[in-house]
Amino acid sequence: MNVIAAVDPLDPSSVDAPIPDFTGQIGQKLKGLRIGYARGLFAGLQGVSNEVVATGRRSSANAAYAIHEDNLRSRPLDYGRYTYQRMIAGATLSAADITQAFRLRRELTRILNTEALAYHGALLTATALTPAPRLDEFPLDWPPPSIAALGDTDCRPGLR
């Protein structure tokens, strides 16, 4: 974390800020630390609805599209299908969608800080909706199985 937290001059969303020493507490005892966990993605955190999670995805798609817009338009085949699909969705969002996403993101942050992190020192939660496939089972230019099951939604010609 100490290495990847540094500013990246090639990333327009990167921030040049002081980096805390993430390794400073390695080796300290965990006795007394309360660790919360959710049985599902944000399940059990009161007030976190599917709408909040979906809006998080919208704001992520919007940010990714804004950063990669030029390359998505000029070199779309440089992106894997799944990555392209996730980013290009940001092009379809209205200002109202983005404003709503930011409002709900603030609400999610408030809920996490006041209801979850006020009591727990750490939270464990899923980072994906499905187990990671083995690399030899996951073709480079195809979405993960959970997305592929939804059907071919790729809008780029010639990539079926």
**pLDDT tens profile 59-92:** 888 889 998 999 998 988 888 888 888 888 888 8
Question: Which residues are CB-neighbours of 18 under 8 A, at least 6 positions away?
Answer: none
Higher pLDDT, 59 or 48: 59
CA torsion, ordered 118, 120, 122, 124, to nearest 10 deg: -120
The pLDDT of residue 69 is: 92
Domain ranges of the chain: 35-148
Question: Which residues are CB-neighbours of 121 under 8 A, at least 6 positions away?
Answer: 33, 34, 35
Question: Which residues are CB-neighbours of 21 under 8 A, at least 6 positions away?
Answer: 2
What phi and psi values does residue 51 have, to the nearest 5 degrees? -65, -40
102/112 Cα distance (integer angstroms): 15
